[in-house]
Structure 1
Amino acid sequence: MSTKTSGKSFIEKARRAQIMQTTIEAICDLGYAQASIGQIAKRAGVSKGVITYHFPSKDELMQKIVEELYLKGASFMSEIATESTAANMLRRYIETNLEFILAHKNHVAAVAEIVMNFRDEEGRLIYHKPADNSIYVPIIEILHWGQEDGSFRPILPSSAQVLAMTIRSAIDLASQQLVANPDFNIQEYAKELIQLFEAATGKPPI
């Protein structure tokens, strides 16, 4: 009895993973609006009923894809906290974000599509909230720490916000480039980005 239960659980998990991966590929190829349950089922080689058995609605499927990426990202980024200086932490923040994007480029691109298109019943975007600056908080904290440990030049709070927004935007742009341009060299991009922001945050020579 326990073997059957375990087997069923394993099969269901594998099927859910397959559906989610197929959905990610459909969104990347067709865009959010055209990635319907029917299209996903066709690509997965199953009936629409199989999709809705595991994910009762497209909304729930989209939510799970977003949640899975955030969980993967949190695990991937945990090593940043081990750095001993703010300068090293900023470098690792940029490197690790870009490494994660490279390792999950289709998933990242699909989530970007979901964020910009997934709406509630009243037509409001669920994930894209322009006034929410929480994504910049970790970078701002690194910048503040860098002034305390002497790694960085003095940075005003308003300037820290600008730097954080610029760093985050430069990182997010990489995912678009990876999908659109097969020749995009993300390692070289990371190297140049690190040099750019080290110059922007470092102390001027005496």
Structure 2
Amino acid sequence: MSFIEKARRAQIVECAIETIAEVGYAQASLGEIAKRANISKGVISYHFANKEELLEQITFEYYMAWQAYIVPRIEAQKSPKEMLQVYIESNLVFVDENRNHVFAVIEIVSNKRTADGKRFTEDHDETILLPIENILTLGMQEGVFREFTKTSARVMASTIRNAIDGFTIKLMSKPHLDVQEYIRELVIIFEKSTKK
């Protein structure tokens, strides 16, 4: 791809993100995205085979950006307690700083189905819990966290992830919520509930 083609693809992705975040998945047709990008629908079709490919690109770019933001921050910590705190903090700061992209991905994963009827991210549900479970396991091994069985570690990881995702969804309808206060409260809740 030439520099110009890469720039055009990036522009289309950015306009698609803004469109989906603003009008929702159902209303974000290729025609609507093209209109907002001030290009023809044919230009989108030149760069993306169909709407599904464009949606996959938005989701892929989100997960890559999320991973690049979160992972180094967790790896820089010295203890499992700090890792868990930073996992919570960095997830919510990332959401706050990338609201349109996050909201667009929520719209996509909430509405899109694969050809066999599965949710778009059903296969990713498992992998998103693994970093939390790994932190909990490390915390147990180091004697910082209470004992978890495999099932109870999954329950705790799901609870942490659901608290983050739940606030993200609430932020879509109430954009003036205090993210920092929510972060502080979540850190306290999960520090107490994982403590040995």
TM-score category, normalised to shorter length: over 0.9
Match among 84, 93, 112 for residue 78 of structure 2: 84
2:170 pairs with 1:168: no
2:72 pairs with 1:48: no
Quick one: which amino acid aligns to residue 77 of structure 2? E
Q: Distance in 2 between matches of 1:87 and 1:125?
A: 33
Quick one: which amino acid aligns to residue 121 of structure 1? A
Q: Which residue of 2 aligns with 1:17?
A: 10
Q: Distance in 1 between matches of 2:171 and 2:119?
A: 25
Q: Distance in 2 between matches of 1:181 and 1:14?
A: 33
Quick one: which amino acid aligns to residue 83 of structure 1? Q
Q: Which residue of 2 aligns with 1:57?
A: 50
Instruction: Note the residue ranges of structure 1 that are not aligned, 5 or more in a row.
Output: 1-7
TM-score by length of 1: 0.88
Deviations 1:51-81 (A, max 9, x none): 1111121011001001101111111112211
Deviations 1:14-58 (A, max 9, x none): 221111111111112222122111111111111111111111210
Q: Distance in 1 between matches of 2:155 and 2:118?
A: 27
TM superposition shift of 1:129: 4.8
Over the aligned positions, Cα root-mean-square deviation in angstroms equals 1.7
- When the two structures are aligned, how many residues end up with a matched partner? 195
Q: Distance in 2 between matches of 1:184 and 1:197?
A: 20
Map 1:1-206 to 2 at 5 A.
9-79=2-72, 80-129=74-123, 132-203=125-196
TM superposition shift of 1:200: 0.5
TM superposition shift of 1:122: 4.0
Change in Cα spacing, 1:121 to 1:152, as seen in structure 2 (3 Å) is closer
Deviations 1:94-117 (A, max 9, x none): 111111111111111111111122
Quick one: which amino acid aligns to residue 84 of structure 2? L
Instruction: Note the residue ranges of structure 2 that are not aligned, 5 or more in a row.
Output: none
Identical columns (%): 47
Whether the 8 Å contact between 1:31 and 1:113 is mirrored in structure 2 is yes
Q: Report the more deviating stretch, 93-102 or 121-130.
A: 121-130
TM-score by length of 2: 0.92
Q: Distance in 2 between matches of 1:9 and 1:133?
A: 36
From the CA coordinates, give the structure whose radius of gyration is larger.
1
